[in-house]
Every structure is written in structure tokens, then in C-alpha cells.
Amino acid sequence: MKKILMLAAMACVACSPKPAGTPRDQLVKRLCEMTAAGQIAYGHQDDPAYGHAWCVEDWENDPLERSDIKDVCGQYPMVMGFDLGDIEHGADRNLDGVPFGLIRKAALAQIGRGGIVTFSWHPDNILTGGDAWDVSSDQVVKAILPGGEKNAEFRVWLQRAADFIESLGDVPVIFRPWHENSGNWFWWCQNVCTVDEYRELFRMTWLYFVKERGLTNLLWCYSPNGPFTPESYMERYPGDEFVDILGADFYEFIGPDGMEESGARFAAVIKDMLAKMTALGTEHGKLIALSETGLEGIPDSNWWCGVLYPAIKGYPISYVLTWRNAWDKPGHFYGPWAGYAGEEDFKAFAQKEDIVLLD
């Protein structure tokens, strides 16, 4: 299903792309062109691995062609997100039980059909032995930086993550490490590391992947969580050299004032965030993206066209990604699935002329 874009070309916020050379340059160029055409790609986390009521069991023999999104609207999401959590231990499966072999196969299939792939990473806490959400120590980032007691051990974790990305071959992927740093729930968040420590963590990761390992296929996404001021967004920014995409994460939660008010409040925050990111993207010559969003369980059956679409419409974001549809937790879904009450609303969203999915 092809859509004819009737939109007037919008100014591209990203750098004027250099002649496409590396896989990274090619994807930057493509995203710039999509943005200039007013297109917003729709993305979904873990899309081909499992859905609301199914899970791939034998990934080696499974074509990995099922998708809750495709079940609803006949198209794949243009962007598929996967998480590398537990790759640092050399595990076979990630923190949500998805085999890394499946992730590799599904990522390559998605890129092969013309789609885009993004990786987040929720590594464990190397100092305490807890998970990514363990904020019991404010010494973790310090410990893993050069000179720290855990630096050598952490370099092995970086090596395992880079090995996996390298195993994909010469295909471009968006890498989004150390996300939601302006929150207080991960061991790399602002409450447990200093500005300098965070910046060094990001730069150390970039230097390892890009300079030491020579990986030329990564687009680096910096993604604090909203809401923010331009100053708070940039406070921990590692620098233009280390970032390709200015991202941001923000979710809707339904408060005591009910669904309608919460939706309006969420949309107002998203618009405010995207307006600020548009200006920052222009200033720094970067693409921008709504790198994670959603409303858990989507109780509002008009959420896609009534809340999300009006909030993002007209902003030059490359993509918007909604989080996963857990197969083993019936209420934990952020995308549509066949039988869910907002199916028609999602179909209408997917058919908007500026929203792009994949055949």
C-alpha cells in the first residue's frame, strides 16, 4: 500500500547530508529525505519477536513475519526496536527472554525489506550486581570510567555489545544507549551520576564502538526523558561529535483527573518537547525523534488519532516508537493487536498521509 504525500516539503532539521558513504551516512541521508518530505516513521519495540498473545518459539525455523501491527493494518512498522540487555553477560537471550539469534535474524529481515532498526540497552549494574533499575549506588558510572575499579570488566561488556552489532554486518542501525538519563530510575540517571560522569560514559561508549572497533554503521541517539527545558535537555549532552539523533522518551499515565485530561496533558507536553527539539535539531544540525512513547494498555480507544497524532503532527521527527506488546503480561502493551478496542483508530492513524509504515 503506497501513500501519496501531498505535504509541502518541510525544512529538514538535520545536517545537509554528505555524499552517502558509510551505512551510517546512508541512513542519515534517508532519514533527512523522509523528514524533508514530511514523513514520520512509525516504530514498535520487539515487534516480530512476540505480540499480545503470541511468542515466536522456534526462531531458527520461523520466518519471523508475524507482527501485531501487521495483523491490524497489513503493514509492518517502519522502525523496529530491540533491546540488548543481558548481551553484556554473553547470554543467549535478552532481559525479556528474546534470543539474540532471533534479534539478529529479525533485524536483518527488517532492514532487508527496507525498514529501520534501533537498539536500546538496559545493562545490569556492574557494581551492585543488580539490574539496570538498581539506583542504590551513586558510584557505578564513576567505577566504570577509565581509572575506575570496574573499567576493565565493563570494557568486556562493551565488547560483547559491539560483537553483537558487528555480527549484523554492514547495515545501518540506530543505537540509543544510556537513555532517559534525566530520570531517576537507571544507574546512569542524573540522580546517581554527575554531568561529567554521564558525558564521559556516553563518549567512552562511542569511542569504543567507533574508534576502537571501527563500527561505521551506527547512528547514535541521545534520548533524555521529557518534559524538559532546552537547558535541562542539553545538560548531559555528550557533544555533536557523538550524536546523530536528538531523541526523547515520554509516556502518558492516566491521572486521577481521568483519561481525557491526561491525554490532553500528555499531548501538550509532547508538543512542547518536540517544539524545543525542533529548535535544538536546527541549531545542532541533527535529526530528531520521539524515541519511546505510549500509554500502557491503551484504554483510550481513540488514542492514536485523538491524542498521539495531533501531538506529533507537523513536527519534523524521523520516527515515533511505541513500546512492546508483552506476550506474558496481558495489560502490558503499547501497540495495537488484532481484537484490541482501538484497532480502527490505529488503522486510521497508519493511513495518515504523513505516517509511514512498511509493506
Give the residues lining the site for ligand BMA (CB under 6 A): 83, 95-96, 122, 323-324
- How far apart are alpha carbons 223 and 237 in whole angstroms? 9
The amino acid occupying position 318 is: S
How far is C-alpha 102 from the chain's CA centre? 18
Q: How far is the CB of 69 from ligand BMA (least distance, A)?
A: 17
Closest approach, Cβ 334 to ligand BMA, in A, equals 8
Kindly tell me which of 134 and 354 has the beta carbon lying closer to ligand BMA: 134
Distance CA 19, CA 40 (A): 23
Judged by beta carbon, residue 98 or residue 308, the one nearer ligand BMA is 98
What is the C-alpha to C-alpha distance for residues 69 and 338, in angstroms, rounded to an integer? 8
State in angstroms the smallest separation of the CB of 131 from ligand BMA: 9
Task: Quote the CA–CA distance of 258 and 74 in Å, as a whole number.
Answer: 32
Residue 39 or residue 325: which is nearer to ligand BMA going by CB? Answer: 325
Rounded Cα distance, 181 and 184, in Å: 8
Q: What is the residue whose three cell numbers read 525498514? A: 115
Using the minimum distance from each CB to ligand BMA, give the nearer residue, 80 or 95.
95
Among candidate residues 358, 286, 316, the one with its CA nearest the CA of residue 36:
316
Q: Which residue has the cell 540509543?
A: 176
**How long, in residues, is the chain?**
359
Q: Which residue, 283 or 328, is less far from ligand BMA as judged by CB?
A: 328
**Quick one: 24 or 324, whose CB is closer to ligand BMA?**
324
Smallest separation, CB 98 to ligand BMA (Å): 9
d(CA 334, CA 345) in angstroms, rounded, equals 14
